[in-house]
Each structure stands twice: as C-alpha cells, then as structure tokens.
C-alpha cells in the first residue's frame, strides 16, 4: 500500500509519573516570563512553523514566514505577520538557500531566527552567518551544533564523555571501495549514514559488499540533496534493537537535566512511525543511566538549549549512543511510497478527549513532491497506557483525510497489534509483522459481517433517500412498498447475499446466516458516520458511492471497496463485459510522482529480473526502480532530471 501518510503518532501515558508538558513548548518555555524579541523569522515550513508562529502570537512577538513559490498559500504563510519567498520549490533553492534567507532577515529586520527541525536547524554555517549579522539563533550555540550535528565528531565526543557508543569507523568514508573495505573490517551487517544527516535520510543497512556499494551511492546522494553535505560514516548495525530517546535541557550557566524518554522503535526506513512515552521496556535503573549519560554528553559540549539524545537498546537493556539532535525530535516519514495531491476534505478529531493534533495544513492544501509527506502529528494521552491506546484508536477512526492516500490503516493496525500492546517491539517490528508490505486490516468473520451489514444499510438508506425530494415522491427506482431488500454484495472478489429491512433508523440485516441490527442517523452528507452494530459502536466513513452500487468504506481504519446490488441488478450484471487488466510484465511505470535522478539502461540493453532500471527521488528519498522480468529494453521514456507522475511510463521491454 503506497501513500502519504498521517505523521508521528505519539502515545503519551501519564499514570505513574504525571503528565509531561507538551514537547513543543519546552524550547519556548523560558521565554514566557519575558518578551525577548519583537520579531522572529521562522526558517521552516509545515506544522513546526505553525507551532512556532502560534507560540509567538501568544507571546506578542511578530513573525516572518519564509516559503518557496509552491508554498505561497501554505498555512504557515497565512499565519505569519509577514512572508518572504526565498526561491523555487527544490529545498536546495529555497529552505536551504542561506543567501536568500539572510536577505529576508535583513529585509524584514527580524531580530532572531527559529529554525524548527530539519533544513538549517543543525547547520553551523547558518548559525555563523546569523551571528555575523547580530541575529539570534534560537537554539544551541555554534560549537554544540558543530559537535553534535556531525555524527563523526559527536561519536568521538561521546566516547570522551564515557558515553556508550556503537563500534565503527570514526572517520569520513571517501568512496565506495573504501566503504566496502571498512564494512569488511567491522563485519556485516553495517549501517551507512550521512554524517550531517537526520530523520532517516542518507541511511542504509548493508549486509554484503554489493549492498554497501549501493548504500554508499544512495546515501551520499540523499545526504547531498537534503543537507548539502555528502559525507558518510559506517558503523556496526545493531540487529533487532529498540530506539529510545532522552530529552535534555541545558542553560548558559552549565546546568543540564534530562526529562525522561520516548520509545521510537516503530520505524520504517529508519524513520519513526509511532512514538510512545514512557517506554514500558525501561526499568528505573536503565532509565536513570541513560539520562545521566545524556546529560554528560550535553555538558561535554556546553549545551544550552533543548535537545534529544538517541540510543539503541538491545534485549538485555544494554544501550548505545546513536546521535544527538540539537533540537526537539519529532519529524515523521512514511511506511511505503509517498503520495501527493490536494486535500479535498480535512477534519481533525479534536472533538475527542485527550487528543492533540499538530498540523500545518487545511482543506485545499497541496501535498508536494518536494517536501516531507507529513500531514500531521496525532497525539493522544491518558491516565494509563490502555486509555491512551483506546483514545488513539478512536482518534484514527474519526480523522477525515480526503484527496491523498494516508497511513491511518497502518497506524491503527500497529496500536491494536498484540505484540505492540504487550510491548514486544523493536526497530524491525514493521518488517517482521508485514514482510510483504502492509495490505490493510484482515477482517475476522464477525467483522466482515459487520461491514457487509453496514454496506447493506448504507445502500438501502441511499435508495430510500433517492425516493424523496422536497417532501415529494420521485418515480421510485425500487418499489416503495418493498419490505425486504434482497441484496448481492461483492467484497474481495467474493459475493455474499443479504436481506435487509428497516424500522425507522434501524436496519435489520441477515447476511451469511447472521442477523445484525444496524442503527445510525444515516446522514449521508456527513464525512463521519457513527453506527451501532448489535451494541458495538463503530465510526465509519463512506468515502465514495455511485449509482452502480460501488462504495468505498473506511472501516476499522482500512478502506474496503464494496459493491452492493439488488438481486435483480446482480443477475443482469452477469451479462456485462469486464475490462481486461493491462499486462504490466513488460513495462515499468512510476509508482509515485517524483524526479528521475538516474537512468541505468538504454534501448537494446539486456536486463535481468530485479536489475535497477532507474532511480526516482520523491519527497527527498531515493527509490530504485527495478525490472520485473529478464528481457531486452525496447524503449526508454525518461531521462535524468525529468519530473514524472504516478503511473507514467518509464521503460518498455520487448
């Protein structure tokens, strides 16, 4: 399942240690008692820019937003007091364009810059440029950025501060040949990652020489694209660990403290999908030891801001320093391929208790190929873990996102997974649970019957509504005196029979031998439909329906395509011709919108199944497109630099 996804899902359980303050306020908490600046420029976009601007407004501080040309109508631009375009869509020409941003600072006379996360938040050169213009960088000083923003130097400093570190090569890898030599010396598997990177970009796991060469190429390209720095390092890959982070705070008087942890082990491509606090895996002794080492590292670089120290933790609770982010950690990426498009409908579940949503979009917003595919961060909290999980389940069911593909189904499936509920997780959780990719929720028989009963009720309700128009009867499509509706329902290529009847707002549906009572308001104009099925409350979404009985229903997080017909219509439908599916074995189409980075073949070349054909970059991640079978290249329909859409033809084989 490909898609653009709902951002980090943070499950915050606050039972035994009290509720933690919202993390986005930590950095600005020290500013609440004193108005420090008159105007701040926010050097970021999306939800983090919105959060910073919102906080500034509460403090009476004016804000300046920067944006690329494609972000001109973004929410953060509308929220700010002023806005300056800093270049075209590619990040290297806009949000990483230091010259244009410095010019915006001079033009607007901003006294300080808040970098958010990503982009220039850990760029020492940017901090130096600001200092030269007597502009305050809201974050740590340049020394800390240099020390902690560079993975190589940070690892050396961690060793010196007696912080546990992962074995590896403590220098810059020059080329693919040296990468192979170093990997062999360390011993496979190894992790190849960008020295200046973060957020999962420029990271690859290699299990042999060939994967090391490919990993070096992709990681250096991603690192250069995302951070303007293609330096790489290699270290031992700790197989099947947990990823746990410690939040630290430091001031300019040499004080530092740690404020507990977040479990971030549910990941895809080294990017977080679900975060949870506190971790149910840590005991008090391990938590304290990790916190003390995090503080030791912060003090070693005279850290004076909010930051995150990341650790890998093995099954025996041994922990190893991974990296320190000189900012608050919360970016999110996807499980699968990204999706772009326009949000035709968007509704956050803020009417539910214990729910917070951090977003930077609204109905009508465009999701672009140029930036991270994050819609929002959905956070729930409760008095204990069980309550927080239940609230997350309800929030996901009540989240309305139309126009783009999202990852609500995956997130919902993770939080109800028995392994996750027990806390039996690691960074390999998703690949272990879904080795062939996530296909959506697998319905039990009772859940299937619930869905069929709901679909039957929706169909009959829509038919009954179609008979009424301004209190006048239309010519009925179905006989108005029909007491029982004999229906045929197609789901997953299986046909089921059902008989439905209604009494007011309740439908009685007999399907596959089970009789279910389904009650709702049946207001088909609302995006959310609260349905009671034999005493079980469900929130469903009817995403689409047409005159041919086709419906898309979001049920238990997953979207199911259902076709409901009357018995007579189903009998007549047997005479209709079906469209023959396209033979895709000899063609390669783009599975996502993006930019072609490289094309590895030309007409006449013979390729083997699985051989790389081209590389497409989408949302700052590079994806290798491979041949589906062995054959000769007939034609190539793309070249490096081309922008392609989802489904565009790339290469044909004979």
- Reading the block at residue 59, the tokens are 């403090």
**Residue 542 confidence (pLDDT):** 96
Query: Locate tokens 């949503």: which residue?
Result: 357
Instruction: Read off the pLDDT of residues 44-74 as tens digits, 9 standing for 90 and up.
Output: 999 999 999 999 999 999 999 999 999 999 9
| Cβ atoms of 389 and 426 closer than 8 Å | no
Whole-angstrom Cα distance, residue 590 to residue 581? 18
**Residue 370 confidence (pLDDT):** 81
Q: Are strands 536-545 and 550-555 parallel, antiparallel or unpaired?
A: antiparallel
Instruction: Read off the pLDDT of residues 325-371 as tens digits, 9 standing for 90 and up.
Output: 765 547 433 345 556 788 899 999 999 999 999 999 999 988 887 88
Model pTM?
Answer: 0.79
What residues contact 433, with CB distance under 8 A and at least 6 apart?
417, 419
Q: Which of 211, 235, 323, 393 is catalytic?
A: 323
Helices 124-132 + 98-108 axis angle, to 10: 30
First to last CA, the chain: 28
Whole-angstrom Cα distance, residue 498 to residue 492? 16
pLDDT at 177 over 80: yes
| Cβ atoms of 46 and 360 closer than 8 Å | yes
- Of the listed ranges 8-12, 40-44, 386-390, 572-576, the least confidently predicted one is 8-12
Task: Give me the mean pLDDT over the 215-226 stretch.
Answer: 80
Instruction: Read off the pLDDT of residues 399-449 as tens digits, 9 standing for 90 and up.
Output: 999 998 888 999 999 999 999 999 999 999 999 999 888 889 999 999 999
**Active-site residue flag, 211:** no
pLDDT at 636 over 50: yes
CA atoms within 13 Å, Cβ hemisphere of 317:
12
Q: Per this entry, what is the length of the chain?
A: 654
- Partnered with residue 469 across adjacent β-strands are 472
Residue 503, burial from CB neighbour count under 10 angstroms (0-12, 13-18, 19+): exposed
| Cβ atoms of 332 and 375 closer than 8 Å | no
Whole-angstrom Cα distance, residue 272 to residue 191? 17
**Residue 487 confidence (pLDDT):** 96
Whole-angstrom Cα distance, residue 79 to residue 59? 15
Whole-angstrom Cα distance, residue 222 to residue 1? 23
- Reading the block at residue 586, the tokens are 């000899």
| Confidence grade of residue 470 (pLDDT, cut at 50, 70, 90) | low
**Residue 306 confidence (pLDDT):** 87
Instruction: Read off the pLDDT of residues 515-549 as tens digits, 9 standing for 90 and up.
Output: 999 999 999 889 999 999 999 999 999 999 998 89
In percent, how much of the chain has pLDDT > 90? 57
DSSP 32: T
Instruction: Read off the pLDDT of residues 94-127 as tens digits, 9 standing for 90 and up.
Output: 999 999 999 999 999 999 999 998 899 888 899 9
Rg of the chain over all Cα atoms, to the nearest angstrom:
27
DSSP string across 535-592: TEEEEEEEEEE-TTSEEEEEETTEEEEEEEEEHHHHHHHTTSPPPPPP--TTEEE-SS
| Confidence grade of residue 282 (pLDDT, cut at 50, 70, 90) | very high
Task: Give me the mean pLDDT over the 197-205 stretch.
Answer: 70
């Amino acid at each position: 399942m490909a898609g653009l996804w709902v951002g980090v899902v943070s499950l915050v359980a606050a039972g035994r240690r009290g509720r933690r303050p919202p993390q986005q306020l930590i950095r600005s908490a020290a500013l609440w008692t004193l108005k420090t600046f008159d105007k701040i420029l926010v050097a970021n976009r999306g939800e983090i820019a919105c959060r910073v601007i919102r906080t500034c407004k509460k403090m009476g501080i004016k804000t300046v937003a920067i944006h690329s040309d494609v972000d001109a109508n973004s929410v953060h631009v509308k929220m700010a007091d002023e806005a300056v375009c800093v270049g075209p869509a590619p990040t290297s020409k806009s949000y990483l364009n230091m010259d244009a941003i410095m010019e915006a600072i001079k033009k607007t006379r901003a006294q300080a810059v808040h970098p958010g996360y990503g982009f220039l938040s850990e760029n020492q050169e940017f901090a130096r440029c600001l200092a030269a213009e007597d502009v305050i960088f809201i974050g740590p000083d340049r020394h800390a950025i240099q020390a902690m923003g560079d993975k190589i130097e940070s690892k050396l400093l961690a060793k010196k501060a007696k912080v546990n570190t992962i074995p590896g090569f403590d220098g810059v890898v020059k080329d693919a040949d040296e990468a192979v030599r170093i990997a062999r010396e360390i011993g496979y598997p190894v992790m190849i990652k960008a020295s200046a990177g973060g957020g999962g970009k420029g990271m690859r796991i290699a299990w042999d020489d060939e994967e090391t060469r490919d990993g070096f190429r992709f990681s250096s390209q991603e690192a250069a694209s995302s951070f303007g720095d293609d330096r790489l390092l290699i270290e031992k890959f700790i197989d099947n660990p947990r990823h746990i982070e410690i939040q630290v705070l430091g001031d300019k008087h040499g004080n530092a403290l740690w404020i507990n942890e977040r479990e971030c082990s549910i990941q895809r491509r080294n990017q977080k999908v679900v975060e949870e606090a506190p971790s149910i895996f840590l005991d008090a002794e391990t938590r304290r030891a990790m916190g003390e080492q995090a503080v030791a590292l912060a003090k070693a670089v005279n850290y004076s801001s909010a930051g995150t120290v990341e650790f890998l933790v093995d099954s025996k609770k041994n922990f190893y320093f991974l990296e320190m982010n000189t900012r608050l950690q919360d970016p999110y990426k996807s499980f699968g391929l990204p999706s772009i498009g326009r949000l035709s409908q968007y509704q956050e579940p803020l009417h539910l208790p214990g729910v917070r949503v951090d977003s930077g979009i609204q109905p009508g917003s465009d999701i672009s190929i140029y930036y991270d595919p994050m819609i929002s961060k959905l956070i729930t909290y409760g008095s204990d873990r069980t309550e927080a999980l239940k609230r997350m389940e309800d929030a996901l069911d009540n989240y309305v996102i139309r126009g783009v593909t999202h990852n609500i189904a995956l997130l919902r499936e993770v939080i109800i997974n028995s392994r996750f509920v027990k806390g039996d997780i690691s960074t390999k959780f998703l690949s272990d649970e879904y080795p062939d990719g996530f296909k959506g929720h697998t319905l039990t028989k009772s859940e299937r019957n619930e869905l069929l009963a709901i679909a039957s009720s929706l169909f009959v309700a829509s038919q009954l509504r179609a008979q009424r128009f301004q209190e006048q009867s239309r010519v009925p499509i179905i006989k108005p005196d029909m007491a029982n509706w004999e229906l045929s329902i197609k789901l997953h290529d299986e046909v089921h029979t059902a008989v439905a009847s209604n009494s007011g707002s309740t439908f009685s549906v007999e399907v596959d031998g089970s009789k279910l009572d389904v009650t709702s308001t049946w207001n088909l104009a609302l995006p959310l439909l609260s349905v009671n099925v034999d005493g079980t409350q469900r929130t469903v979404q009817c995403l689409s329906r047409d005159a041919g009985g086709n419906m898309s229903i979001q049920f238990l997080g997953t979207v199911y395509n259902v076709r409901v017909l009357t018995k007579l219509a189903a009998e007549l439908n047997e005479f209709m011709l079906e469209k023959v599916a396209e033979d895709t074995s000899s063609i390669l189409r783009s599975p996502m919108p993006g930019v072609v980075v490289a094309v590895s073949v030309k007409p006449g070349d013979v390729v083997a199944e699985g051989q790389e054909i081209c590389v497409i970059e989408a949302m700052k991640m590079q994806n290798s497109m491979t041949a589906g079978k062995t054959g000769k290249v007939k034609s190539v329909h793309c070249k490096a630099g081309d922008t392609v859409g989802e489904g565009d033809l790339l290469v044909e084989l004979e």
